[in-house]
Amino acid sequence: MEMDQIISAVRQALDDMKARDVVEIDVTNKSTVTDRMVIASGTSKRHVMSIGQHVQEEMKHQGLLPLGIEGLDTGEWVLVDLGELVVHVMMPDARSFYDLERLWGFDEAEQGSVN
């Protein structure tokens, strides 16, 4: 599968389960582990677990077997590793605490200093 197809399938799975605040981050030049991250929130631990499970199942239906899935036992943060794409589904408090968007995203001031 091409990256665009993977992202589209993941976004559809997240939309199916009514995930909130979906963000995509390109980490190609920042990580050797993955190229892209998709981050989303759930409204409860059960919702987070259900979203992660649904993403895993939908990707299997698309012919892409996840390399791993973590966090289904607690529901604070579920990670679905699809190789070139890692999906993070988090409770809002965990998402705010870890702030992956800031950690992995481009800082506007940093972009300005590059020019």
Identity of the amino acid at 77 = W
Strands in 36-41's sheet, in edge-to-edge order, are 20-26, 36-41, 85-90, 77-81, 68-70
Q: Which overall architecture, per CATH, does domain 3-97 show?
A: 2-Layer Sandwich (3.30)
pTM: 0.88
Per-residue pLDDT of the chain (115 residues; tens, 9 = 90+): 899 999 999 999 999 999 999 999 999 888 878 899 999 999 999 999 999 999 999 999 999 999 999 999 999 999 999 999 999 999 999 999 999 988 887 543 343 333 3
Upper half-sphere CA count for residue 93 (Cβ side, 13 Å): 4
Closest among 57, 15, 61 to 69, alpha carbons compared: 57
Per-residue pLDDT at 104: 82
Map out the domains of the chain as residue ranges: 3-97
